[in-house]
Amino acid sequence: MAPKRGMGVPPPLPPSVPAGRLLSRQQSLSSRTKKQFGGSAGGKEGLAAFLRELTKRSPFFQQIEEDAKNHAKTILELKAAINSFRTKDMTELIKFQQYMEAILEVLTDENQVLAKFEDFPIKKLETIRAAAALYSKSNLVVSNLKNWEVKSPAAQLLNKFDCYFTKVKEELDAFERTKDEESRNFKSHGIDFDFNIFVTIKELMVDVSSNCMELVLKEWGETKGANDAEKKANKNLLWRTFKLAFRVYSFAGGNDERADKLAKELANEVLCGSS
């Protein structure tokens, strides 16, 4: 039967290749491949050697080698200093961390360079950094609270302090969950961390909260003759201030005499304003 119109005649079958010749071609290709990558038995070793050679020629790794050579004396001195470092003085901790960073910041790649020095105390280095960072951050909170500006309008002051208190509380609550573990880690590396700074933060939170209560009560006394809309806004501010003061009280684990007095006065105004 003649082929249908529009369909081409199928191409002729390819000539068969003798099995021996096909096997010979495969063996030849395999042989060339093995030679390129270092032979069958040493293929991986050959490739590894090739990669090592590339690494040696890399400008980046050449710079690492130079850093290790040029800063060897300083790094070895740092290694000894870290190994012997012990402190319970947080000022000394911060100074030592700054001393470390001044040496390490000039290195092209800190991890790569320090890896050239046997038994360099990397874990202790990172622990010193962590302890110094924790104390520096906590000390910044102390500074912020000590210098907290108390000024009218009270509503803006309350909003600002509420946001800051919430942020700090969340961070400290999170740290409290790992405090025992962190303390053990610090001590195992010779750092007797001063956790009293967290007590200071809580005490200062109470102080700022008291300042907020004082200003709100002052403004409340000045606006008692205001119209109904203003009175309602001021009553809401009284209630917000009282709730924030209670949150601070719960966070700090108590109040001082001044905070207690102001909280009672604030509560009375809230109750009177609601009647």
Task: Give the Cα separation of 112 and 50 in Å (integer).
Answer: 20
**Whole-number pLDDT of residue 1:** 47
SS3 content of the chain, % helix, strand, coil (to 5): 75, 0, 25
Within 10 angstroms of residue 134's Cβ, the number of other Cβ atoms is 19
Peptide bond into 3 cis (omega under 30): no
In whole angstroms, give the CA distance from residue 142 to residue 147: 9
Alpha-carbon dihedral angle through residues 125, 130, 136, 141, given to the nearest 10 degrees? 180
Give per-residue pLDDT as tens, 120-156: 999 999 999 999 999 999 999 999 999 999 999 999 9
How high is the pLDDT of residue 42?
56
Whole-prediction pTM: 0.77
**CA distance readout (Å), 268 to 229, 240, 262:** 21, 14, 10
| 20-55 per-position pLDDT tens digit | 555 555 555 555 545 554 444 456 677 777 666 666
The full set of domain ranges for the chain reads 67-129, 149-274
**Which residue stretches of the chain have pLDDT < 70?**
1-44, 50-57, 224-231, 273-275
270 vs 275: CA distance, rounded Å: 9
